[in-house]
């Protein structure tokens, strides 16, 4: 199932759009590698999951910090169906869900970035590139230090 998620940061009012192909299950949260990687102390690494059950998109709350669907709290470890136009609300974010059928897509790849580029744009939108560079350099220095100690 093709899904477009429009994620708005409620404090900065910035919005980012991600197009996903939902197969069995897609987990969203702070975790690296998440297709929609979010940032915030009140967010869990695995905050919620999207899955398709009987041709219906569902959201499962994986966080004790709360997930709301159109303003209604979703209990922990419970799922709720969502439709086009629904909002998934997390601490600091509001995500609008748009469902698309495969037949309504344009010719594959026409005018679209590869999926990994979209994910990278989302990650960079919510993370300061300077912090990312500093973290990578720190890890490289630690690796070099361990290499020299071991040899």
Distance CA 47, CA 151 (A): 42
With tokens 């999926």, the residue in question is 115
Residue 99 DSSP SS3: strand
Residue 126 has pLDDT above 60, yes or no: no
Distance CA 129, CA 123 (A): 10
Quote the longest CA-to-CA distance of the chain: 59
Residue 114 has pLDDT above 50, yes or no: no
Average pLDDT on 53-76 reads: 93
Per DSSP, the residues of 32-51 read: TT-TTB---TTS-TT-EEEE
With tokens 């600091």, the residue in question is 92
Choice between 43 and 101, residue whose per-residue pLDDT is larger? 43
Whole-model pTM: value is 0.65
Q: What is the CATH number of domain 2-101?
A: 2.60.200.20
């Amino acid at each position: 199932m093709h899904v477009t998620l429009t994620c708005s940061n409620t404090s900065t009012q910035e919005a980012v759009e991600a197009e996903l192909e939902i197969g069995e299950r897609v987990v969203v949260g702070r975790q690296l590698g998440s297709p929609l990687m979010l940032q915030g102390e009140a967010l869990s690494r695995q905050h919620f999951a999207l899955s398709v059950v009987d041709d219906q998109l569902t959201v499962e709350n994986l966080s004790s910090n709360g997930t709301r669907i159109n303003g209604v709290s979703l209990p922990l470890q419970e799922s709720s169906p969502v439709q086009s136009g629904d909002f998934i609300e997390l601490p600091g974010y509001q995500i609008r869900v748009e469902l698309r059928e495969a037949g309504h897509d344009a010719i594959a790849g026409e005018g679209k970035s590869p999926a990994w580029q979209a994910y990278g744009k989302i990650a960079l939108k919510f993370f300061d590139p300077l912090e990312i560079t500093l973290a990578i350099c720190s890890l490289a220095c630690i690796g070099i230090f361990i290499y020299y100690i071991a040899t």
